[in-house]
């Protein structure tokens, strides 16, 4: 299937002339404002890379690493979208293996193997496949329904093994809990339907085990999307995946002398909706006063202008670099306008987003955040 234009950057050059950059960054009437300020990351403009497919999480992270390491995209050592895609593929292969081992411990290997075959057959019967595109795409709702329908089809021998494993794990001191709660926060959003099916499950399947199995098959689909040859997708990659991938790349990077390139890389969630499960330097709330909103803007400005720093914006299921900030005070209204330059689609810096709009987007879901990548000597 052809890649839609909204999923990849145009063939136009990434580089801007000084005049084009000036027109992009400065408002038309900026000389008329009483107060005007602008902060631009020239390195972000030099380091961002194109998105060749629906792979924003890979392209944005490649651009961020080029920014903090000071690499122009044309340098041989600069990171590309395919470099980061390779890291994600390795990471999710490991995540899937560990997750499968946890479920196998609870269900039994034969039972899980039978379930995997049943799920594969169930999807194929609907003309669907893991990593499918268009009419062959697998949705979370389809996975949930297919899993619910497959569980009662386990053979009697599978059920015996399942019951035996459940009896063995009834001793809480011997249980290794499934890591469901940790991953749900970031890369998988549980909805009401997950809990609604609990009354329809076999008596040996708890709602938490069902949620873990559903997440496992969701990850299988996401990993298959990552590995597509013609249209790789990073849809399965959430904030944690980006942060972990950055740290992995940093830990495995060496310079020509064989030593680690940069002494330290910090990769954190900088800004987003306030939550007890994620400590943020800039925590947003719907009850923030005007003064608090201004302070938060200044904190973002300070972080953006720090040396060797790259910020990635996650908004409306899209990742892109933050390229510039600007603000001005209208002399007639005495009101401030504050904006951020990023990309709503693909990676090319084209969209100035109002600070007020960004706040509303972030407050709509805890997953939308600004991610910070900083290197220190």
Please report whether residue 6 resides in a domain.
Answer: no
Contact partners, residue 39, CB within 8 Å, separation at least 6: 301, 304, 305, 324, 325, 326
Same domain, 205 and 319: no
The Cα angle at residue 312 between residues 15 and 365, in degrees rounded to 5: 140
Rg, Å, the chain Cα set: 23
Same domain, 274 and 363: yes
Say what angle helices 109-125 and 156-168 make with each other, to 10 degrees: 130
**Among 87, 48, 83, 90, which residue's Cα sits nearest to residue 68?**
48
When mean pLDDT is compared across 23-27, 29-33, 111-115, 202-206, the lowest value belongs to: 202-206
For 236-262, the pLDDT digits (tens) are 999 999 999 999 999 998 665 555 555
End position of a domain, from candidates 175, 202, 227: 227
Determine the Cα–Cα distance for residues 320 and 9; give it in Å rounded to an integer: 12
- What is the average per-residue pLDDT within 148-171? 63
pLDDT value for 12:
78
Q: pLDDT grade, residue 38 (50/70/90)? A: very high
Is residue 295's pLDDT more than 90? yes
Average pLDDT, the chain: 87
Say what angle helices 81-107 and 239-251 make with each other, to 10 degrees: 110
Summarize the chain as % helix, strand, coil (round to 5): 50, 15, 35
Is residue 78's pLDDT more than 80? yes
- What is the average per-residue pLDDT within 55-81? 97
Sheet order of strands, 282-284 included:
282-284, 264-273, 369-376, 309-314, 319-321
Contact partners, residue 325, CB within 8 Å, separation at least 6: 38, 39, 300, 301, 304, 338, 339, 340, 341
Is residue 282's pLDDT more than 70? yes
Q: pLDDT grade, residue 176 (50/70/90)? A: very low
**Among 121, 41, 4, 10, which residue's Cα sits nearest to residue 303?**
41
Q: Could you tell me the CA-to-CA distances from 341 to 79, 168, 327 in Å, in that order? A: 22, 56, 11
**Among 291, 292, 324, 313, which residue's Cα sits nearest to residue 37?**
324
**Residue of higher predicted confidence among 167 and 24:** 24
Same domain, 340 and 306: yes
Compute the residue count for the chain.
377
Contact partners, residue 10, CB within 8 Å, separation at least 6: 346, 348
End position of a domain, from candidates 172, 193, 227: 227
pLDDT value for 196:
52
Same domain, 353 and 264: yes
H/E segment holding residue 375: strand 369-376
Extended beta strands in 196-244, E state: none
User: In 3-state terms, what secondary structure has residue 8?
Assistant: coil
Determine the Cα–Cα distance for residues 336 and 348; give it in Å rounded to an integer: 26
Q: pLDDT grade, residue 152 (50/70/90)? A: confident
Please report whether residue 194 resides in a domain.
Answer: yes
Please report whether residue 22 resides in a domain.
Answer: yes
Contact partners, residue 260, CB within 8 Å, separation at least 6: 250, 251, 253, 254
Is residue 187's pLDDT more than 50? no
Is residue 270's pLDDT more than 80? yes
pLDDT value for 198:
54
Is residue 185's pLDDT more than 90? no
- What is the average per-residue pLDDT within 311-321? 96
Strand 282-284 versus strand 264-273 pairing type: parallel
Q: pLDDT grade, residue 172 (50/70/90)? A: very low
For 350-372, the pLDDT digits (tens) are 999 999 999 999 999 999 999 99
Is residue 177's pLDDT more than 50? no
Question: 313 is in which domain, residue-wise?
Answer: 18-81+236-376
pLDDT value for 332:
84
Is residue 344's pLDDT more than 90? yes
**Residue of higher predicted confidence among 256 and 217:** 217
Sheet order of strands, 324-329 included:
35-40, 324-329, 336-342, 351-354
When mean pLDDT is compared across 59-73, 179-193, 256-270, 360-374, the lowest value belongs to: 179-193
**Among 44, 45, 50, 26, which residue's Cα sits nearest to residue 36?**
26
Q: How many structural domains are present in the chain?
A: 2
Same domain, 95 and 76: no
Is residue 150's pLDDT more than 70? yes
- What is the average per-residue pLDDT within 278-286? 95
Please report whether residue 10 resides in a domain.
Answer: no
Same domain, 322 and 362: yes
Please report whether residue 189 resides in a domain.
Answer: yes
Is residue 221's pLDDT more than 60? yes
* pTM of this structure: 0.86
End position of a domain, from candidates 167, 194, 227: 227
Same domain, 212 and 130: yes
H/E segment holding residue 328: strand 324-329
Is residue 149's pLDDT more than 50? yes
**Residue of higher predicted confidence among 174 and 335:** 335
Please report whether residue 7 resides in a domain.
Answer: no
User: In 3-state terms, what secondary structure has residue 52?
Assistant: coil
- What is the average per-residue pLDDT within 113-126? 96
H/E segment holding residue 157: helix 156-168
């Amino acid at each position: 299937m052809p890649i839609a234009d909204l999923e990849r950057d145009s063939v136009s050059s990434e580089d801007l002339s000084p005049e084009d950059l000036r027109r992009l960054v400065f408002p038309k009437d900026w000389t008329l404002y009483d107060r005007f300020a602008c902060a631009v990351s020239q390195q972000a403009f030099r380091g961002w890379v194109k998105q060749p497919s629906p792979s924003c999480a890979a392209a944005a992270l490649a651009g961020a690493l080029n920014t903090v390491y000071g690499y122009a995209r044309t340098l041989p050592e600069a990171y590309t979208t395919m470099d980061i895609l390779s890291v994600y593929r390795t990471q999710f292969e490991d995540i899937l293996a560990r997750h499968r081992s946890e479920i196998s411990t609870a269900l039994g290997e034969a039972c899980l193997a039978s379930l995997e075959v049943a799920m594969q057959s169930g999807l194929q019967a609907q003309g669907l496949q893991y990593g499918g595109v268009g009419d062959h795409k697998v949705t979370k709702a389809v996975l949930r329904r297919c899993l619910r329908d497959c569980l009662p089809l386990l053979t009697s021998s599978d059920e015996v093994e399942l019951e035996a494993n459940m009896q063995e794990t009834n001793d809480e001191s011997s249980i290794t809990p499934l890591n469901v709660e940790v991953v749900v926060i970031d890369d998988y959003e549980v909805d009401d339907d997950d809990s609604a099916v609990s009354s329809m499950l076999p008596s040996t399947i708890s709602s938490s085990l069902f949620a873990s199995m559903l997440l496992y098959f969701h990850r299988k689909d996401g990993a298959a999307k990552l590995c597509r040859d013609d249209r790789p997708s990073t849809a399965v990659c959430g904030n944690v995946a980006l942060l972990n991938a950055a740290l992995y790349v940093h830990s495995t990077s060496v310079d020509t002398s064989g030593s680690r390139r940069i002494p330290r890389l910090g990769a954190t969630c900088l800004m987003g909706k306030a939550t007890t499960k994620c400590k943020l330097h800039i925590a947003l709330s719907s009850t923030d006063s005007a003064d608090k909103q201004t302070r938060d803007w200044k904190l973002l400005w300070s972080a953006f202008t720090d040396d060797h720093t790259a910020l990635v914006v996650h908004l409306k299921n899209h990742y892109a670099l933050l390229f510039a900030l600007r603000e001005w005070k209208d002399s007639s209204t005495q009101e401030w306008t504050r904006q951020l330059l990023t990309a709503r689609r693909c990676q090319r810096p084209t969209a100035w987003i109002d600070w007020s709009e960004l706040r509303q987007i972030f407050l709509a879901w805890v997953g939308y955040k600004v991610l910070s990548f900083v290197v220190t000597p």
